[in-house]
């Protein structure tokens, strides 16, 4: 069984594909028939109704649908991907101001951002060399680099604040 969360116009629906002819949307079981006309055009029969659906894929999780002249943009994620996305969104909302600290003593090899640059959660911001290994330090939150406390070639101790993100 494949479990997905489909979001259209901000509304989320839980979709379970039970088999080739049966799906479940928010607990409601539906019998379906699906026919591929070409790579973009499909016929979908749900109960007694037949829908002509044209679709394109925007990226790994975004799809565009045209159903009888009406346009829909949908985000399709597995249940696990949706939970991970919600977790990251919550973490981002809670993290209004973050400092990135040195996890160990070492030397700053590279600073990837400067004050005023936009950063996304998980984006590499610094490279710290410690014990002859390069460690990529990533942003714990999305935001703007507010302050930069180190420069390339500088030695730092454990827990030294390297930069702040607002």
What domains appear along the chain, each with residue ranges and CATH number? 2-84 (3.30.700.30), 98-165 (2.40.50.100)
Provide the whole-model pTM: 0.54
| Main-chain phi, psi angles of 38, to 5 degrees | -150, -170
Residue 12: pLDDT band (50, 70, 90) is very high
The percent of residues above 70 in pLDDT, for the chain, comes to 95
Q: Report pLDDT digits (tens) over 56-71.
A: 988 888 999 999 889 9
Residue 9: partners with Cβ closer than 8 Å, 6 or more residues away: 72
Which of 92, 164, 91, 97 lies closest to 126 in space, CA to CA? 164
Q: What is the DSSP letter of 14?
A: E
């Amino acid at each position: 069984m494949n479990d997905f969360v489909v979001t259209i116009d901000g509304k989320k629906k839980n979709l379970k594909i039970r088999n080739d002819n049966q799906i479940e949307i928010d607990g409601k079981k539906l019998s379906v028939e699906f026919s591929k006309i070409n790579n973009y055009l499909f016929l979908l029969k749900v109960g007694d109704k037949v829908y002509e659906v044209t679709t394109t894929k925007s990226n790994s999780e975004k799809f565009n649908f045209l159903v009888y002249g009406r346009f829909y943009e949908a985000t399709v994620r597995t249940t696990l991907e949706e939970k991970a996305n919600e977790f990251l969104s919550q973490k981002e909302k809670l993290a209004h101001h973050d400092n990135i600290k040195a996890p160990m003593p070492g030397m700053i090899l590279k600073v990837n951002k400067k004050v005023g640059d936009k950063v996304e959660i998980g984006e590499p911001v610094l490279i710290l060399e410690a014990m002859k290994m390069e460690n990529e330090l990533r942003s714990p939150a999305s935001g703007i680099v507010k302050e930069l406390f180190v420069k390339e070639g500088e030695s730092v101790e454990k827990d030294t604040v390297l930069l702040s993100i607002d």
